[in-house]
Amino acid sequence: MMFGQCMLAESFVFDPTTNGRVPLPSWLPDRPVAIASNHAELSFHVVPIADDDDLALTVVFVEDSGGYLSVYWQPQGGSRQQLCANLFENISLPNQRTILINRPTLGGPGKLILSSSSPVLNIKRVRLDWARPGVVRLYDLLPNGALIAPGGKIYAPEEVDGSPLTPVADRWDGNVYTTSVTENAERIEQGVQYPVSIPKPVRRVRIEVLVNGLPLGSSIKLWLNGAQVGSLAMEIPELTDPGYFHSRSQGDHYTGWRKGVFLLSSHQVNKGSNVFQFQGPANTPLAIRDFLLQIQYASD
């Protein structure tokens, strides 16, 4: 199967709290403008480049409980069009999201606007990338992608269209069944149990989950049916990822979602009821989403 896919080309990174004036690319004729009000805003005057390039927007922010951070595009001389009602995922943690703005939406020059529900933007970093179209081939069973980020991360169309994030769809890949255990992002530091019923004996089970809030160098312990079975192998994002920060108090730290994985053998998983639980470092706010089980049954 062959389909169109966007790959990043030209980029610009803006840190609102950084001192100094960063050089602007030719497609940003003016400096970003912050407007203080009951609903604070940050806007970028954008002049699109190549006729077929889309614009990838990545925002690193601190979620405000019950609040929102919306994204709009306002063409020159026109009215605002909402691209994303809320980047927040209701976890009240530092977070990051990426959306892809297609070229027909951009049209010509205009303003990209981030609008907060409060007088404070709570934005840590904004990255703008022009994404050129490309063509890749995928095996028939693999889901479509919409954007390839630095480091090779592939975003599905529904991850970057600005809509609320939804669970990964259950599917069969040959004799391997993938099922989503969680519906939404949620906090887990108080201890959350995830019951799962597995109808037949298994050969092996692969666990995959996205984790937010885990310090670099720390680990997540996996508990299954009341017993600790090990620690997740945690992804270390590419150093080009906009989620990396450094401070004197915290040293190197990362804002965003990181993938953790673990492989369970047949004797660790019950036929029937199983209860999974994740445990992070003490007194560390944590959230997970996209908790997936890849199951290969013993009979397959």
Residue range 86-120, pLDDT digits in tens: 999 999 999 999 999 999 999 999 999 999 999 98
Does residue 142 or residue 209 have the better pLDDT?
A: 209
For residue 163, what pLDDT is reported? 93
Helix (H, G, I), strand (E, B) or coil at 151: coil
Q: Are 114 and 125 in contact (CB under 8 A)?
A: no
Mean pLDDT, rounded, of the chain:
91
Q: pTM for the whole thing?
A: 0.91
Torsion of CA 33, 94, 91, 97, to 10 degrees: 60
Q: What is the pLDDT of residue 137?
A: 65
User: Would you place residue 142 in the very low, low, confident or very high pLDDT band (cuts 50, 70, 90)?
Assistant: low
CATH code 2.60.120 region(s) in the chain: 2-159, 171-297
pLDDT of residue 5: 41
Q: Which residues of 37-54 are buried (b: 16+ CB within 10 A; e: fewer)?
A: eeebbbbbbbebbeeebb
Give mean pLDDT, residues 211-240: 96
Residue 2 pLDDT > 50: no
What is the reported pLDDT for 194? 98
Backbone angles phi, psi at 212, to 5 degrees: -120, 135
Question: What is the Cα–Cα distance from 98 to 19, expressed in whole angstroms?
Answer: 25
With contact defined as beta carbons under 8 Å apart, do 69 and 141 qualify? no
Q: Of 1.10.3210, 1.20.1640, 2.70.98, 2.60.120, which CATH number belongs to 2-159?
A: 2.60.120
pLDDT at residue 274 is higher than 80: yes
Separation CA 190–CA 286 (nearest Å): 9
**pLDDT recorded at residue 211:** 98
The model's confidence at residue 8, banded by pLDDT at 50, 70 and 90, is very low
Q: Helix, strand or coil for residue 106?
A: helix
- Neighbouring CB atoms inside 10 A of 36's CB total 10
Phi, psi (rounded to 5 degrees) for 158: -70, -15
Which of the four pLDDT bands, split at 50, 70 and 90, describes residue 56? Answer: very high
User: d(Cα 269, Cα 229) in Å, to the nearest integer?
Assistant: 11
CB-based contacts of 251: which residues, under 8 Å, 6+ apart? none
pLDDT greater than 90 at residue 228 = yes
Q: What is the CATH number of domain 171-297?
A: 2.60.120
The tokens for 70 are 């919306």
What pLDDT score does 144 carry?
A: 65
Mean pLDDT of all residues in 21-30? 89
Q: What angle do CA 293, 297, 300 make, to 5 degrees?
A: 135
- Whole-number pLDDT of residue 300: 64
Average pLDDT in the 124-140 region?
82
Instruction: Give the strands of the sheet with 221-224, arranged side by side.
Output: 193-198, 272-279, 221-224, 227-231
